[in-house]
A = this chain, B = another copy of it.
Amino acid sequence: MDFNFLMPVKVISGEGCVLKSAKLLRSLGRRCLIMTSRSAAKTSGALDDLISTLEEAKINYTIFSEISPNPLLSQCQAAAYAAQLCRSQFIIGVGGGSVMDAAKAAAWLANNNCSAGEKLMKGELRHGPLPLVLIGTTAGTGSEVTPAAVLTMDKTGQKRSITHHNCFADIAFADPRYTYTVNRDHTVSAALDAFSHAVEGWFAPACGDLPTAFGEKALPLILEGLEWMSENDGLPEKEMRDKLYYGSLWAGMVLNATGTAFPHPLGYILTEEYSVPHGMACAVFLPALLERAEKYCKDRAERLYSLCGGRDRVFAILGRLVSHNVRMGSEQIESYKPRWEGVKNFERTPGGFTAEDAAGVFRSLFLD
């Protein structure tokens, strides 16, 4: 038994939670920078709610809406610079994982030298971050409750993640209504991302009593929505989307405590080079992870299947939802091996995992 824990974010959930929080936001300062992507913050209704609240609270705001999916480090640096120019006292990220992760980076850079991107990625910035508020709009990332941020490096085009306690938000608003306008493809991929967090974390060495309890909540909630989408076109009813959103937060609580296993770093390559959306890219590798877990972590695997209504159900749902057109030659697969040396996520994989193991998984899935 154990009781290790750290998740310092104040999470405020429920319909209209942003609109009720003028006073709380005012306690963070009088000027803020809002970071969003081009459209999701607007179409979800989150930005309108936020602006009403900021106006009620007499907080001046500037909107930086240039954050793209798989955000570049340079976008975060630009946002941090904008925050400095506007003398923003705090930053609010409104969007999915890309925006929230970028906001984490920008909030930390904005209180330091904005161009110190490499120091940021190493967690070596001198000063702490500006206060950070997150408003999630997708049921996937769980970034609201984790200290992780995944950014794309401008020079290499590769995704890199940073996990640091300075990347926790101060406040996260969780209003599931903001996820209702997400389209089907994004909803599926986001739900697969959340499911990957819960499954990968479940088998990590750090998955003690608390993350296990969180996983027990996350898995059935997310799988119910995934099953519906695997059997129907379109999108599920609101109640099921609420479950997907709250399930993604429970999964984020797992992720926060455990980190991810090999599907996440392997998935980055599919996203970078084949434009497979992040959640889908991770889920491609879940069957391989589960088969490995059955071998090296039998009890935990059985417990997971029992929470998920059985092994067959899990594999059937993944089989219907997960697809890709990735094909590659053996030389290309070999070329990834140096990148896979010393990846921390591999250590969190049942039975351990090497660059050669990763190449083997790639060959079995993608070899021409």
Q: Which residues of A contact B (CB under 8 A)?
A: 1-14, 145, 174, 176, 209, 213-214, 216-217, 242-243, 246, 249-250
Contacts and interface: CB of A to CB of B under 8 A. Distances in A.
A1 B209 contact: no
B209 A3 contact: no
Contact of A3 (B1, B5, B8, B13): B13
A10 B2 contact: no
A243 B13 CA distance: 31
Q: What copy number does this chain have within its complex?
A: 2
Majority DSSP secondary structure for residues of A touching B: mixed
Given A3-B246, A3-B249, A6-B10, 16 more contacts: A1-B176, A1-B243, A2-B13, A2-B246, A3-B11, A3-B13, A3-B174, A4-B13, A5-B7, A5-B9, A5-B10, A7-B7, A7-B8, A213-B214, A213-B216, A213-B217
A11 B4 contact: yes
Nearest to A247: B1
A79 to B, nearest CB: 26
Nearest to A214: B213
Contacts of A216: 213
A177 B12 CA distance: 36
Nearest to A12: B4
Contact of A1 (B5, B11, B213, B246): B246
Given A6-B10, A8-B8, A1 B217 contact: no
A1 to B, nearest CB: 5
A242 B14 CA distance: 36
Nearest to A208: B13
Contacts of A213: 213-214, 216-217
A10 to B, nearest CB: 4
Nearest to A242: B1
A216 B7 CA distance: 20
A9 B250 CA distance: 18
Nearest to A145: B5
Contact of A14 (B4, B7, B10, B176): B4
A162 B326 CA distance: 59
A11 B216 CA distance: 21
A12 B209 CA distance: 13
Given A2-B14, A13-B2, A246 B209 contact: yes
Contacts of A250: 3
A120 B87 CA distance: 34
Nearest to A252: B3
A249 B208 CA distance: 14
Nearest to A217: B213
Contacts of A4: 11-14
Contacts of A5: 7, 9-11, 145
